Amino acid sequence: MIKASVYVTLRPGVLDPQGETIKSSLNDLGFSEVAGVRAGKYLELDLDTDDVAAARSRLDDMCGRLLSNPVIEDYTVEIEERRGS
């Protein structure tokens, strides 16, 4: 069993209204040091395999096909831990 983390973030230059709203709200709450916020997605996946290399390739495929929108988003995959089979 492999546990993987996937971070999906907007590409630089892509407008992020959600991040802007969070930034404004934090500023309004008194957190004036917040100069910018970018919002993204964080996914934890449990994979029923022990082959880390194959899992990495499959995760790339998942990100390209479903988990991210390659036109406007980047993704990062981390294989966090490997538990006993």
DSSP 29: T
> Residue 13, by phi and psi: left (phi above 0), alpha (psi -120 to 50) or beta?
left
Looking only at residues 2 through 41 of this chain, which bind its own copies when binding is defined by CB under 8 A? 7-9, 19, 22, 25-26, 29, 31-41
Q: Does 58 bind its own copies (CB under 8 A)?
A: yes
CB of 49 to its own copies, least distance (A): 5
Using alpha carbons only, how large is the chain's radius of gyration in Å? 16
The residues of the shown chain that bind its own copies, judged by CB under 8 A, are: 1, 7-9, 19, 22, 25-26, 29, 31-49, 55, 58, 61-62, 65-67
